[in-house]
Amino acid sequence: MSVARPARPPEPAPPDSVRLAEALIFCAPAPMTEADLAARLPPGTDVPALLAEIARTYAPRGITLARVAGGYAFRTAPDLAPCLRGASPEPRKLSRAALETLAIVAYHQPVTRAEIEEIRGVTTSKGSLDLLLETGWVRLRGRRRTPGRPVTYGTTPAFLDHFGLDAVSDLPGLDELKGLGLIEGRLPAGVRLRQPSDTAVPDEDPLAPGEDAAD
């Protein structure tokens, strides 16, 4: 009677592949996906195992491998954040209107300008949306299948990267927002956050190539 042998642990990735992957991730201007790495690494490289090896190596260090915006990037260890304040120039601060608009786009995407104004209860200035488009955190997604064919807005991979999110589904929910102190007091009954989508939805058409997407 044969006895099943225990599964052998995966072999560590070859050092040259690990070093090349580290260099690719370090030099990339945006998080690299597994497909991006597979295209640049030797054929047959087990990319998930290689990434796991890098993550284990860097876990106790000051720089860690993080999964953000659907890819992988090196980031400073979260526990070192208090020591690094002031080490880099402060980014341009958004106005309250722009922050509110960004939050609505993030949590309600795809969303039109009219829908943003309905949620905020005030007119949304073109400047707020233009600023968010300039930062690269908001993009023109498509057009709603309603009269007038209004443009829809959504967030970008740069937004996910900046806020350390892998996907829009990782956005904090109501309970988390309350725990962070971002929502105070009692909310009206029935208030909920809509499940955002970063993929096409049934009532939305993508923008045509070269289309002038002015709202």
pLDDT at 35 (0 to 100): 93
* C-alpha dist (Å) from residue 148 to 190, 197, 200: 30, 22, 19
Q: Which amino acid is at 66?
A: A
Window from 29-43, 45-59, 154-168 with minimum mean pLDDT: 154-168
pLDDT at 122 over 90: no
Per DSSP, 196 falls in state -
The CA-to-CA distance between both ends of the chain, in Å, stands at 73
pLDDT at 186 over 60: no
pLDDT at 124 over 60: yes
What domains, with CATH codes, occur in the chain? 15-77 (1.10.10.10), 96-206 (1.10.10.10)
pLDDT at 121 over 50: yes
pLDDT at 139 over 50: yes
Q: Has this prediction a pTM greater than 0.75?
A: no
pLDDT at 50 (0 to 100): 93
Question: Which comes out higher in pLDDT, residue 105 or 93?
Answer: 105
pLDDT at 55 over 90: yes
Query: For residue range 149-167, what is the model confidence (pLDDT) as tens digits?
Result: 899 999 998 888 888 888 8
Angle, helices 96-108/113-120, rounded to nearest 10 degrees: 110
Question: Which comes out higher in pLDDT, residue 206 or 58?
Answer: 58
Q: Provide the phi-psi class of 165: left if phi over 0, else alpha when psi is between -120 and 50, else beta.
A: beta
pLDDT (average), residues 75-81 = 83
Query: For residue range 4-17, what is the model confidence (pLDDT) as tens digits?
Result: 566 666 665 555 88
pLDDT at 56 over 80: yes
pLDDT (average), residues 188-206 = 65
Structure tokens at 105: 């786009």
